[in-house]
Structure 1
Amino acid sequence: MCPPRSPRVVAQRELRSHPEGRERSGSVADFVGRRRELKELREDIARTGLDTLSGRKAKAPRARLLLIAGRPGSGRTSLAEALVREVAADYPDGLLRVRLTSPGGRPIATERALRTLLEGLGEPTPPGAAEDELSSALRTALAGRRAVLLVDDASDPYQVDALLPDNPDCLVVLTAEGPLTGIPDVRPCALGGLDTASAVEMLAQRIGTTRIAVDPRSADKLAEVCDRQPAVLALVGGWLAAHPKASVSDTAKQLHDMPSDGEGPLGRGFRLVYESLPQPAQRTLRLLPLAPAGIIDSHTASALAGCSVAAAQSVLEEFAGLGLVRNGSDGLFLLPGCLVPLIRPLLETRERPAEVQLARARMLERTVRLLHSCEVMAAAEGEDVRELLEGTPRALRFPDRRSAATWLDTRLPSLSAAAQLAVADGGLDTLARRLVAGLVRALAEHRGTAAAAPELYGLHRLVLDVAERRSLHREQAAALLNLADLDAETGRTREALDRYRAALDAGRAANDPYATGRAMESVGGAHQELGDWHRAADWFGRALAHALARGERADEARLYGRLGNAYTHAGRYGDALRSWRAAAAGYRRLADVPGQAKALSEMARIQEYAGRPEESLHTCREAVDLARRAGDLRLQAALQVRLADTLDRLGDPAAARLHRSAADKLLGDDPAACEIRSGND
């Protein structure tokens, strides 16, 4: 069966890697049969829906929905993929994929699913955006497109409803275990087993035609014993391929005679394969459900089992041949969701809790070290890389920055899931904090803070969860400040203000002067953004007093400037002049010539507002000299324009023209010239 790939990675590949937006051609090698179901689904696309009866509507108000229902292991995802390939030409704007349930059975957050689809379309996803906002953005992005959405393993109709485009030219293909009540105008295509001929063909793909041809009746019997279910056939076929001397008839008899224990054909097929494995491989298999999001690579398996990376890779390839895992892309393997309920009881009964916790800790520690190596490849070069990675095993290093970035992109779904699981576990909080911190740094280095903001928002929330649970006030303050900054950047100023106030309380509880001062200044900035200049000035004054008490000169100069700006907007020109004069003096003591020039520029502006043009002219000329020393051409030009305006008011148009001419020469063909002038008029 075709392996279900990671949602985020798949969406990007289908639409971003292919300019024409079409799904790549090709077929799933082991997909057989289901011709009747495919035909019915194709016909169902064009049928008249219940809401178009009697000709009341020419088109449905929403996308056409097709539901493929079947038990895990019935091949529902493979059938959906085969259908999508057949209709791809009718939907030239491409394929989007998302999975709504993890292999362990946990539902994926609707917000995460919406982000996956939006990222696949190349649309921005504001950090911290609410589900309704993301759903509306998705519908807007899909308006006017002819695209296919493959929504895999849906269990909640309300979650599906949030993903549906209001565009009748789109097609949504759902897979689920049963009918999804609550979604109107959907007739499920219920899957049973394959027909006998197709089931035998699937076995032949695994073991070759010779053993089938010499005993076709036994092959038919084996298909019946497997209930003609694709997942069972994959397991049994893989076992037969690994045991070339085993006959089809003996295998059919062995499966038939197995005590059922209420497992059904899938349980018997799994037991056949599992019991044939050597003890170390059995233990590795039992530990695989601990892999986040069911995504496994050689490092994950190596850390879980406590073996070498090479040995883990060999075992995973063996498992893939046996149908226990599925081959993904970029060296990844995926644990089929239908096998997790069979493997997890073995983990719980055969492994001691302490050993399970140790395996999970090894996996998290390995991930932390890989994230450190990934971060170093982006942040350092040459000798610095070797120095920073000294003592790191070669297997945990990346050859270059590109390979590190590729690893981060392809593993991001499992890395995010690992962080969430580690935080939820509660027993490995130290490792969880290190993992989240490492992931934040790696994302910031490779993508930049702005591009990584949607992912960083979720990670900061995880840090906040741990900090609140463990009463770590310093970490709590840092997480709240980071979240509030992202809220402020996306226009949620009131939410940011609440978080800045909470960060102030946490900073005071931790006796952390940096967090306390930063929170005070940020509260003032939030009030400033809301236009409440009096409260902004009050909070900037508190932050300034805090900085003065600590003797932080750079913070003092900056806060004097922010205070002066708030006073200016509040119309308190005298207070504003005193603040900017103090800021200029602070920058002079710091030998910060550009800062001093800008402070004097603001003083000149306020003097002009206050009706003191001669003083403004003198201050502005002093600021021009400083800007010239600093080499800031844009500031020089802005000050020349201000000088010209002041001279106009003083009745000297000739001198004003000279200064405007000087400003034009400084700006040249700079397209921001008008912006500079308007910003300083």
Structure 2
Amino acid sequence: MLVTSRNRCAELDGASLLDLPVPGVEEALGMLAARIGRSRVEADPANARALVDACGRLPVALRVNASRLAVQPGRGLGDLLARFADERSRLTQLAIGDVAVTTSFELGHRELAPLAAQVFRNAALVPGASFSAEAVAALLPADEGLVRRALGELVADNLVQADGSGRYRYHDLLRLYAVRTLEKAQGGTDRSAAFGRLLTWYLGRTAAAMRLVYAEMVRLPLDIEPPAQPFRDDDAAMAWLNEEVDNLVAAIEEAAAGPHRARAWQLADQLRGYFFVGRDAVAWLAGGRAGLAAAEAAGDLRAQAAMHQTLGQAHWSVGHHELAAEVYARGMDAAARSGWLAGEAYLRHNLGLVHAERGRLDEAEALYRQTLEISSGPEFSHIRAVTLNDLGTMCQERGELTEAVRYFRAALEINQGAARRPSAIVNRSNLGMVLRQLEEFDAARDHLDAALRFYRTTGSRTGQMCVLDELSQMYRQLGEWFSAVETAAEALHIARELGDARSEAGVLNTLGFALLGSRAVTDARERFDESLAVSRRYGYRYFEAQAAVGVSETHLLSGAAGKAYATAQEAYGIAAGKAYRTVQADALLALARAALEMGDRHAASGHGRAARDLLETAGAPSRVRDCDALLARIAEEPAASPLG
């Protein structure tokens, strides 16, 4: 005997229970074709697939619509599909005669215990595809253990599905039915209050998670007290955020258009650190735009400044620097008009960061120093630390390496004093970068290894990428070419996985020079060309100049000294115009080698001496020794006619 039921029929003695999943797409299409004819399905496959999706692939829903089409052989599938465009009326459309999808839903709902019925209806308020017992308990409100048992009853009755990881989901049509029953059972005010409780719970949990994952950010003050830490460590906090992020963004978008709009911008503001670590720009921008719309609707200038901050950072993360600068400027204005000094200082710093990446170093430095001036109090220590760190980065790009060390150490001292470990690790990574350039390899390796351990433990892909890039360059300096190539290749894979264009441009150069040292000239040239394309697309002048030096070196190794000289001149023009002294020195050395190969000892000597002066100022002893060796070789060459 075969018995079918929505319920599991666990009470049937001796029965073998078999769970039947919802039919797959191909099976559902086959059911439709069996009723209306395969030719009609094959004649319009896109609408046929859309129709079975609209029916949720449920056999009873497919039967209803197949019956409609069977008695109207001339009717197109798209015509019937148009009736399902309005989700609110979809359940009504899924009925014909005495056959209706909702019949079995209603029978199952009526047989539920009161709390289970309440859970079934109210869980539909949770935005997103899945939900947790904790979220439903928060919006009811009810005891979490009781809610979990009620969800178990719903799973047994096939009214919700459990995914095995502690989360639940409706079938699409059951969600529509739950919404309908909720609207009948509760008025709009009660539903709004429940959604408000959910948003407050989300905000508290998100704020608690961010205290562990990325506390070091300027954020708006909260109007709630976050719960006692619900997460055992930052891994647990990140795992919760990863599970809930789609729901959180959906909640922001829904809250922005209603009476709970303040929760929209508060949640978007809290999530900025999460997105900064993970670089999911699509979700980041969606949440930020909804939060900004809510802040503008409320006329809250401080909230608008915070949302411009989150949007600017999202645009910056994917290389949209011009747009980021515009958004940051609007945010600075809103922060200043609202009297939010911390927000203004942080936005000013970030605008400086954008200018620095676009090669406008003087403007960047002015903004950094203005930031330091207006953030002198102890409450601004985080802003001071990030600004000092970025001044260090700017000095490194200018070839002012000892000054860079001073700024990075000052930032590290602030962050270690405040027990801000993630920020201190950033400073250590940057110190490793400059100490590597100063050829203090033991100290550099100590900082870089510590940073890489931290980033591997916390799962920060961005952090791993940056440290791997530096380690590759150190291996190159030490002549360990295999390790240099392998490490740079791993960094490039991460950069592309993250969609981080700026890092991709830089790491392509790192890999190119590692390949060049391995005498893989063709592969190196391809990497430099790729870096040039990315750098020119986004305006990364530092990496453009660096890549041009690499292209010059490939020309020289390929026997094309004239092309090498011309490309090195191009690199020098960019680097000198932006005061990138180390790249400027690299370009001068490339010019010297090309000139020597072309027989112009005088030009080669002049370029070599100019490079030596720059490198001596920067404090790079082995690079100075390399210059001396090149100058000695130039002196030994016979004189020839000058270039030109």
Structure 2 length-normalised TM: 0.48
Higher relative contact order (CA 8 A, sep 6+): 1
Structure 1 length-normalised TM: 0.46
**The structure with more helix, counted as a fraction of residues:** 2
